[in-house]
Amino acid sequence: QVHLEESGGRLVQAGGSLRLSCAASGRAPTMYNMGWFRQAPGKEREFVACITWNGANTYYTDSVKGRFTISRNNAKDTVYLQMNSLKPEDTAVYYCAGNWGPPVVVKHTTDYDYWGQGTQVTVSS
């Protein structure tokens, strides 16, 4: 069992930056591939970024490439999402998720085993 807790979401103006954190606890949290997803009102949850458990590989959805960076500090059992040049369309609840498996890119919600409760990011125009 792994518990995930997101933090760092808040109201920010367009063009601004935020860093989200996802703290993991429980059974071997450093062995999980980790992902960030987001869900805007009335829309389905969508993939944002992921990182393998060893940090060797990352992957981003096209709309955030060049603006967002996913990273992890396994010594602190924490995964980060640095978000720069934020746009109003980035407004959503952001969730982190953990996938138990080999160090490969994991993009689908159904492949993740554990989820956090989410943190709200609101970007004003």
Q: What is the pLDDT of residues 39-75, one digit of tens each?
A: 999 999 999 999 999 999 999 999 999 999 999 999 9
Strands 78-83 and 18-26: antiparallel
Q: What is the pLDDT of residues 69-118, one digit of tens each?
A: 999 999 999 999 999 999 999 999 999 999 998 999 999 999 999 999 99
Can you read off the two tokens belonging to residue 6?
Answer: 């997101």
Res 59: pLDDT: 97
Long-range contacts formed by 57-66: CB under 8 A, 24+ apart: 57/103, 57/104, 57/105, 58/105, 59/105, 59/107, 63/89, 64/90
Q: How far is CA 53 from the centre of its chain?
A: 14
Residues for the chain: how many in total?
125
Res 123: pLDDT: 98
Q: What is the pLDDT of residues 7-19, one digit of tens each?
A: 999 999 999 999 9
